[in-house]
Amino acid sequence: MIVRLQEGYLKTKFGTFLEILYYDGLKESVALVMGDISNSENVLCRVHSSCLSAHAFNSIECDCREQMEMAQFLIEKEGKGIIIWLEQEGRNNGHFALLSTAQLRANGMTSTEAYLSLGFKEDARDYRCATEILRDLNIVSIDLLTNSPQKIDSLRDSGINVVGSRRIAIDSSNNEELEKSYKDKILRGHLIDL
């Protein structure tokens, strides 16, 4: 069960969001909310996993930082929406797992192959906390910003009314590292155009 710990306003280059901190007994999650979304339908929503490499260190091997910026930009443009930040580093295998796969990825393995070869899960993420946050905020239905049909299915399976989805990918043509990441995601069923 998730509980609200604290909230306050956060000024960003994409406007002011209400930041709500949640805790499930193991990890903290954050909801960034813009506008009045309570009892709203078709709320623009991004469910986003933490990525230390991209958000703190500006890695070019993934698009996590750009996806966060794009979500904030689209929500600001819409005037309301929510971003749910989940502590799920390395597909929820942890940063140790992510670092452990570095040499294997450098030698040509996809991230998925590298995780599996080292005994980690292909994808250990779950969206239970996101589901509980959406319920806590009384959101009727969401328009999900994602490239992942699995994320849509997972949220729907948990009872969230996902009425639509919008792709949120960046141009990878000038970034060989990101293109490799996208090819792996496409193999896993993500809807990304190269």
For the chain, the three-class secondary structure string (H helix, E strand, C coil) is CCEEEEEEEEEECCEEEEEEEEECCCCEEEEEEECCCCCCCCEEEEEEECCHHHHCCCCCCCCHHHHHHHHHHHHHHHCCEEEEEECCHHHHCCHHHHHHCHHHHHCCCCHHHHHHHCCCCCCCCCCHHHHHHHHHCCCCCEEEECCCHHHHHHHHHCCCCEEEEECCCCCCCCCHHHHHHHHHHHHCCCCCCC
Q: Does any domain span residue 115?
A: no
- From residue 151, alpha-carbon distances to 14, 48, 131 in Å are 25, 10, 11
pLDDT band, very low/low/confident/very high, at 175 (cuts 50, 70, 90):
low
User: Active site includes 123?
Assistant: yes
The count of domains in the chain is: 1
Span 32-87, pLDDT tens digits: 999 999 999 999 999 999 989 888 998 877 788 888 999 999 999 999 999 999 99
Q: Is the pLDDT of residue 8 over 50?
A: yes
| pLDDT attached to residue 58 | 86
| pLDDT attached to residue 64 | 85
Q: What is the CATH number of the domain that holds 168?
A: 3.40.50.10990
Q: Does any domain span residue 97?
A: no
Q: Does any domain span residue 157?
A: yes
Q: Does any domain span residue 94?
A: no
Structure-model confidence comparison of residues 147 and 139, the more confident one: 139
Q: Does any domain span residue 79?
A: yes
Rounded to whole angstroms, the Cα distance separating 19 from 109 reads 38
Q: pTM of this prediction?
A: 0.85
Q: Does any domain span residue 74?
A: yes
Residues 155-179: what's their mean pLDDT?
Answer: 78
Structure-model confidence comparison of residues 73 and 114, the more confident one: 73
What are the backbone angles phi and psi of residue 35, rounded to the nearest 5°? Answer: 80, 180
Q: Could you say which of 46, 91, 105, 125 is catalytic?
A: 125
Q: Could you say which of 123, 136, 143, 184 is catalytic?
A: 123
Q: Does any domain span residue 120?
A: no
128: its two tokens = 């239970």
Q: Is the pLDDT of residue 194 over 50?
A: no
Find the domain containing 36 and state its range: 3-88+125-187
Q: Does any domain span residue 174?
A: yes
Q: Is the pLDDT of residue 163 over 90?
A: yes
Rounded to whole angstroms, the Cα distance separating 103 from 178 reads 16
Closest CA to 44 of 192, 170, 191, 162: 162
Closest CA to 150 of 101, 102, 91, 80: 91
Highest mean pLDDT among 39-48, 62-71, 103-112, 167-176: 39-48
User: Active site includes 188?
Assistant: no
| pLDDT attached to residue 18 | 98
Min mean pLDDT across 45-49, 164-168, 181-185 is at 181-185
